[in-house]
Structure 1
Amino acid sequence: MNDYGVTGSTTGVEVLIKLHIEELWSGITAIDRYGEWSPECYYGAWLEEGARFEARNRFKDGFETYVTCTVTVMQAPHRFGWDVYGDEDVPFAHWEYELQDQGDKTLVRQSFTHGPGNSGMRIGAVENPERAAEAIQGRLDQLAANMRSTLTAMESALRMPR
């Protein structure tokens, strides 16, 4: 089946954050706080600390998703990544953070890669093949903007005393 370029489509951002690497690491791995920062993810909770978590997302049109994520890399304080699963046994996405110590700042690279599993992006591409490339790029651009928003909000929150 043609997936119109969905599988393997990727986007990412690189942002210099004004936090020590350990401070940023504490935020990136605070799954329960993602709802405070993300434009889409409104809930996250560990199912097995360091191994699996659940997340709930709400989109601008009101559509909601509930997913389970499996941590694929956790190398404190430099790399954290996970695969996202819906109802299938194959992931439909992979998210990852790479952190580089810059003294009192941290260079963070966040990336998203679409997997082979079923997702809204894939359904949209299959249902509207004539607009698939445009829709895929639009979603990737939206994800990159959301990454920047999330990192900015995370940085602000972690700089403030709780």
Structure 2
Amino acid sequence: MTDTPMKDGPLFEVRAEAVIAAPPEAVYATVSDLPRCGEWSEECNGGEWISGAPGTVGAVFRGENFRSPDVVAWAPVVRGTWHTEAEVVAAEPGRRFGWAMRDSAGRAQESVWSYELAAGNEADSTVLVHSFWMGRATEGIRGITAEMTEAERTEFFSAWAAKLTAEMAATVQRVKGVVEKS
């Protein structure tokens, strides 16, 4: 399998947006607190900081995740509980928070999740954009698609992109609910 089995360029570029009735600093304080992500994420149940100062560039977070059997059920993806490590790659309070998924050797991969924040049009509001970008296939994606035909890989990437799109839209709405209740 090649690094980019479907096309030249990134494998995934997905984003979702919500306007939150709170200032960017308050929204940032929530989304950068990764141990709380189970309150809004479809797959990540939370986790813990395992190295570095929490929420700063270079800090590493160990996430506990769960995926049900019906998610792209035909594909050989991890089911049930599994763990990941992510390294913070952007930490600009009130503006941007992002992390890259690490491979089994602890290297950051071209699999970056981020939140970008900007002042909204209303007083004390924030436009929150949640993004996911994957350049070259990660260690996990290479394993999942290793035995697939080209047609199966195409189907997998289409189904996975739809899954990501739906889950990220739900995530920003959950973040909105958590922040606006605080």
TM-score range, shorter chain: 0.7 to 0.9
**How much identity, in percent, do the aligned residues show?**
24
Higher helix share: 1
**Contact 1:86–1:92 at 8 Å: present in 2 too?**
no
User: Which residue number corresponds to residue 160 of structure 1?
Assistant: 181
Aligned match for 2:83, one of 66, 85, 90: 66
Counterpart-to-counterpart distance in 2, 1:42 and 1:92: 23
Output the CA distance in 2 between the equivalents of 1:72 and 1:148. 23
* 1:34 to partner: Cα distance: 0.5
Superposition map of 1:44-123 within 5 A:
44-47=47-50, 48=52, 49=54, 50=56, 51-61=59-69, 62-88=79-105, 89-91=107-109, 93-102=111-120, 103-116=123-136, 117-119=138-140, 121-123=141-143
CA deviations 1:111-158 (Å, max 9, x no partner) are 111244311x33333322222122112112211221121221122122
Distance in 2 (alpha carbons) for counterparts of 1:8 and 1:19: 33
Deviation of 1:92 after TM superposition, in Å, equals: 5.3
Equivalent residues, number: 160
* Distance across 2 between alignment mates of 1:86 and 1:43: 19
Among 39, 42, 47, the alignment partner of 1:39 is 42
Change (3 A) 1:18 1:160: same
TM-score, L = length of structure 1: 0.87
- Partner amino acid, structure 2, of 1:57: N
How far apart are the structure 2 equivalents of 1:22 and 1:67?
Answer: 27
The residue identity in structure 2 corresponding to 1:58 is F
2:169 is aligned to 148
CA RMSD in angstroms comes to 2.0
SS in 1 for 2:64: strand
State the secondary structure of the residue aligned to 1:143: helix
